[in-house]
Structures are given as structure tokens and as C-alpha cells.
């Protein structure tokens, strides 16, 4: 019996027909985007990654030809003559600039314009500058197409000014940008993850506007659920709150608001079999609605559509998955770019 698309293995990539289009990935983390491109038949030449642990995992699973372990600022400063010629003839430059400062959680505006210590790469960085550093790389390499992913918080409130600046910069360096607000639940991913995708074609190409319309049926948590999760300790307040859950409760915060008159622990989500899983984040807690335990690592891998034979080495499974683009989400986008713009069949 044929396996569902979300239940796949890295070894399956050997059977994917190759069309020769090339990709280079920035802020690659564990390679969620990389795997999406590979599933769509692209050749991913290499990556830039600041986090040594993530680079080790990326190299173990993807064997990049040109890995660059360094900040994006250092990569963009490498003299052209010292970079592989293949990087100046790319079909796609891919990037997911770290997006913590644009998330709707917390006091995000207070983090803009200053340096902070973020988990991404265990580095002190100005994350609101990284998107423009990425565009400097695009201006340097001049790929045929640029694909950049980020959180939907960028189009809410004051952050919309950053979007305008990004679109203006893309036009300035010779590209025709489009902005897509996509939900992975419509793309064959068992997770309602909403993300923005900036997709821009170099202006010297006679491309029509890209059309991205996805309407695949939703996959429920019960469809992909497997494995055993870590039980909640019965002497903990989380367990006592979980006991008082109702079918309509989406998180522990719903319970505390009802029984304690205040909302807390909103980042402890309850996953029900008859609903699509919430966005998988690297630091939130996910509990099963009908069982007093966390979701399993198998659940996390399936929700994020990572391959079941992925080697996480010494890293936390949820952190690697939560920081990555779901491979099937990027596969759907990359497939359409190939079909609509690169003359694919």
C-alpha cells in the first residue's frame, strides 16, 4: 500500500526525478526547505548556517557540496572570486531569516533595532536586519528567483513597514516580488501553520505572475498520531488543569481562564484527534487532549512532515522541527515554481 506523503524517508529522494534546477539555502537550520526542494527534483548545492549544532545535523542529513558555517554578514562579505561559480548561476536563492522579533508573542517592538541574545545560532544579533542581509546576498548572487519565508506577524501592526521596505529593496536590486500568505494545512501538511512567502523573479525574465492556490483536504492529528509521549507528572499543576479540560479547550490557557479567572499557559497546547494540529513551535508544549502526556517525537516528525529516518543527532527533535519550514510545504511551492516558471512538466 502506498504511504501517505507525510510518511516519507530520506532514502525516497533517490527515486525523485531530477530536472537540474539549482538552489542555495540561507539560514538553513535542519534543512526543512532543502528537503522540500529535493522532493521537487531540485539540486541543493549548499547552505549558510550560523549554528554549529544545526550545521552538523544539516551535513549529516544532506551532504551539501558547499557548506558555509558563518553569520550571513560574513558570507555576503566573501569576495566573489572566492565563491564557487555555481552560486552565481542559481535558479533559486532560498532563505528563512530568523523571525523571533516579528512574532506576535511578547513585546516584539521592544526588540526592534537593538541587539539581543537569541537561540538562533546562540548569537547576539539584530534579527530585524537579517532579512536585508539576505537581500544583500541576493544582490550579490543574482539568482533567477528568490524565495524567503517568514512569520505572518510581519503583516500585522507596525511590522508592515518592514514588509514595504523588503518589497522596495527587492525591486531596487532588480526583482519583481510577490507576497503570499499560505497555510500549510491546505498543502498536505498535518498542521495549520500560516507563513508568509516572498517570492521574486529577476526582472529580465518574461514570467507571468506566480499562482499559488492550494486546497488539499485537512489532515487531522488523529490521522498521523503515533508513539508514546512523556506523561505529565500527577503532582504538577498542569496535570490538575488538564483533568478539568473540555472538548472545546485548545490550550491550558482556556482552562485557567475558565476555572481561575485568568489566562496563563497559553503556549501549552492541547491536540485533539478530530482537529488539525496547531503550528509546531520550537519552545511550546503540546499535550494530547485525551491522554495526560506530551505528544511523541513521532508525532512531531509527522506534524512537520520531516522524514522518519532523519538523524537529529544530539539535538531536540521539537527544536529542529519547529525552527524549520515543513518539507511538504516547500515542496508544493517549489513544484509550482518549476511548473509555472521553469518550464517543468
CB atoms within 10 A of CB 210: 18
CA atoms within 13 A on the CB side of 26: 29
Residue 74 pLDDT: 97
In contact, 333 and 197? CB cutoff 8 Å: yes
Question: 305 — alpha (psi -120 to 50), left (phi > 0) or beta?
Answer: left
User: What pLDDT digit, counting tens, does each position of 171-209 carry?
Assistant: 999 999 999 999 999 999 999 999 999 999 999 999 999
Highest mean pLDDT among 110-114, 138-142, 234-238: 138-142
Residue 106 pLDDT: 43
* Strand arrangement, sheet containing 175-183: 66-69, 43-49, 22-26, 92-95, 145-151, 194-202, 175-183
**Residue range 251-276: mean pLDDT, rounded:** 89
Grid coordinates of 329: 510545504
**Strands 66-69, 268-271: parallel, antiparallel or unpaired by DSSP?**
unpaired
CA atoms within 13 A on the CB side of 247: 3
Q: Is the pLDDT reported for residue 146 higher than 50?
A: yes
- The domain segmentation of the chain, as residue ranges, is 18-212+320-340, 221-310
Q: Is the pLDDT reported for residue 104 higher than 70?
A: no
Q: How far apart are CA 165 and CA 158, in angstroms?
A: 12
Which of 210, 187, 183, 188 has the alpha carbon at shortest distance from 199? Answer: 210
**Residue range 271-297: mean pLDDT, rounded:** 96
CA atoms within 13 A on the CB side of 344: 17
In contact, 151 and 195? CB cutoff 8 Å: yes
Q: Which residues are catalytic?
A: 99
User: Which DSSP string corresponds to 87-141?
Assistant: GGS-SEEEE----GGGSSSS-GGGGTTS-EEETGGGEEE-HHHHHHHHHHHHHHH
Name the band, by pLDDT with cuts 50, 70 and 90, for residue 332.
very high
Q: Which CATH superfamily is domain 18-212+320-340 in?
A: Vaccinia Virus protein VP39 (3.40.50.150)
Helix (H) or strand (E) holding 130: helix 127-141
Q: How far apart are CA 223 and CA 190, in angstroms?
A: 8
Q: How far apart are CA 312 and CA 249, in angstroms?
A: 32
Phi and psi for 62 in degrees, rounded to 5? Answer: -125, -15
Question: 332 — alpha (psi -120 to 50), left (phi > 0) or beta?
Answer: alpha
How is residue 294 annotated by DSSP? B
In contact, 296 and 154? CB cutoff 8 Å: no
**Residue range 299-307: mean pLDDT, rounded:** 98
Name the band, by pLDDT with cuts 50, 70 and 90, for residue 153.
confident
Name the band, by pLDDT with cuts 50, 70 and 90, for residue 333.
very high
**Residue range 306-319: mean pLDDT, rounded:** 97
Residue 155 pLDDT: 78
Q: How far apart are CA 257 and CA 198, in angstroms?
A: 37
Q: How far apart are CA 315 and CA 274, in angstroms?
A: 30
CB atoms within 10 A of CB 105: 13
Q: How far apart are CA 126 and CA 121, in angstroms?
A: 12
Q: Is the pLDDT reported for residue 108 higher than 50?
A: no
Residue 127 pLDDT: 55
Grid coordinates of 99: 523571525
Name the band, by pLDDT with cuts 50, 70 and 90, for residue 303.
very high
CA atoms within 13 A on the CB side of 98: 26
Q: Is the pLDDT reported for residue 159 higher than 50?
A: yes
Grid coordinates of 77: 562579505
Phi and psi for 74 in degrees, rounded to 5? Answer: -70, -40
Amino acid at each position: 500500500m502506498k504511504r501517505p506523503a507525510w510518511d516519507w524517508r530520506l532514502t525516497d529522494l533517490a527515486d525523485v526525478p531530477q530536472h537540474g534546477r539549482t538552489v542555495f539555502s540561507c539560514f538553513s537550520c535542519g534543512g526543512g526547505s532543502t528537503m522540500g526542494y529535493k522532493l521537487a527534483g531540485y539540486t541543493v548545492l549548499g547552505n549558510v548556517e550560523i549554528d554549529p549544532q544545526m550545521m552538523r545535523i544539516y551535513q549529516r542529513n544532506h551532504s551539501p557540496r558547499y557548506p558555509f558555517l558563518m553569520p550571513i554578514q560574513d558570507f555576503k562579505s566573501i569576495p566573489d572570486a572566492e565563491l564557487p561559480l555555481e552560486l552565481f548561476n542559481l535558479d533559486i536563492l532560498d532563505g528563512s531569516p530568523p523571525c523571533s522579533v516579528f512574532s506576535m508573542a511578547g513585546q516584539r517592538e521592544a526588540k526592534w533595532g537593538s541587539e539581543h541574545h537569541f537561540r538562533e545560532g546562540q548569537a547576539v544579533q539584530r534579527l530585524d536586519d537579517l532579512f536585508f542581509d539576505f537581500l544583500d546576498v541576493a544582490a550579490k548572487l543574482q539568482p533567477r528567483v528568490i524565495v524567503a519565508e517568514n512569520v505572518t506577524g510581519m503583516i500585522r501592526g507596525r511590522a508592515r513597514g518592514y514588509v514595504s521596505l523588503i518589497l522596495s529593496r527587492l525591486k531596487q536590486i532588480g526583482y519583481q516580488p510577490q507576497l503570499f500568505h499560505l497555510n500549510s494545512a491546505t498543502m498536505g501538511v498535518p498542521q495549520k501553520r500560516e507563513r508568509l512567502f516572498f517570492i521574486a523573479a529577476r526582472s529580465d525574465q518574461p514570467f507571468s505572475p506566480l499562482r499559488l492556490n492550494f486546497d488539499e483536504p485537512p489532515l487531522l492529528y488523529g490521522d498521523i498520531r503515533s508513539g508514546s509521549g512523556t506523561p505529565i507528572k500527577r503532582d504538577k499543576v498542569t496535570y490538575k488543569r488538564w483533568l478539568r479540560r473540555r472538548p472545546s479547550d485548545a490550550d491550558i490557557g482556556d482552562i485557567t481562564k475558565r476555572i481561575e479567572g485568568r489566562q496563563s499557559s497559553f503556549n501549552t497546547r492541547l491536540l485533539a484527534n478530530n482537529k488539525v494540529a496547531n503550528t509546531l513551535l520550537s519552545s511550546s508544549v503540546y499535550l494530547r487532549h485525551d491522554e495526560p502526556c506530551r505528544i511523541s517525537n513521532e508525532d512531531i516528525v509527522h506534524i512537520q512532515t520531516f522524514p522518519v529516518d532523519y538523524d537529529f543527532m544530539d539535538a531536540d527533535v521539537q527544536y529542529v522541527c519547529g525552527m524549520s519550514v515543513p518539507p511538504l510545504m516547500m515542496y508544493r511551492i517549489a513544484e509550482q515554481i518549476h511548473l509555472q516558471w521553469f518550464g517543468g512538466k
